[in-house]
Structure 1
Amino acid sequence: MGLFDSIKHAIFGDKGPLGSWDKNKGAAPAPAAPHAPAAPIAPHPQPAAAAPAPAAQAPVDVDVDVEQILTQKAAAYGKPNNWRTSIVDLLTLLGLDSSLQARKELAQELNVHAGADGSAEQNIALHKAVMQQLAANGGKVPASMLD
């Protein structure tokens, strides 16, 4: 499991598998068709009736308000936290490793190649990439964190 999967799990909880967040996980299964009584025997062969189409599963509401969840976590954390712009503070808030090595691995995982390892430029790009990936996986992220 990569660091981004850990970030996603820390924010989304059990909304889906860690590796590939399934938007339909948790959807109620389609109701089974009621048992039909046996058809009477026809004297002449009848054309086969088309099988009814299976009922589509209704998608689960997957909009996870990332900002609200992180704001609540920050309030419970009780310490100043600049998670809105700092990748280090975001990782710390989520209880994840925020070391340079962890951020290098996250940058590689998300294909972020900006600035030197650990530089402000890389950290800003990494935070933006994390927010973009959260949004791509069903998270509701403010536009100000995506630009």
Structure 2
Amino acid sequence: MRLVSRILVVIALGWGFAKIIELSPPEWKALATWLPPVLIILLVASAFGRSLFRGEALITRIARANHDGDFPDEMVGYTRSLTAVWAWFLLGCAVLTMLLVQYAHFPQAASLTPVLVPCLMIGEYFFRKRRFSHYTHRNPLSLMLFMLLHGMPRD
């Protein structure tokens, strides 16, 4: 039931965003197209970044929840560094989007982040599988399903 309600929220937000763009004045259409995705990227980047300074890093919490508390100490430093990588990566995606829209007149630039995020997830998964081959690892799709079903771990 939790998964269904989360999917419905995402659908409602998408529909609401589409209506905002549809009803906005013509001169605001470009801004309405790229600004909300950039703000969302910045919010997610700040969640990753803030977690580095408040308690346990976000990816460390996700990994602990994923391993049912049986989380190796060796992975704590790695997941903390990975949290910083995600924060900087998402900040870079937001800046790149704004620069491409403003200076390259590429209004579809906001669609780059959803393409780049899976690339980082998959690349990191293969790196982790190789670097920490003595542990079992969920693939990115399985991990996303786990997070959809169980939500984000709290502090």
What TM-score comes out, normalization by structure 1 length?
A: 0.28
- Provide the TM-score with structure 2 as the length reference: 0.27
Larger radius of gyration: 1
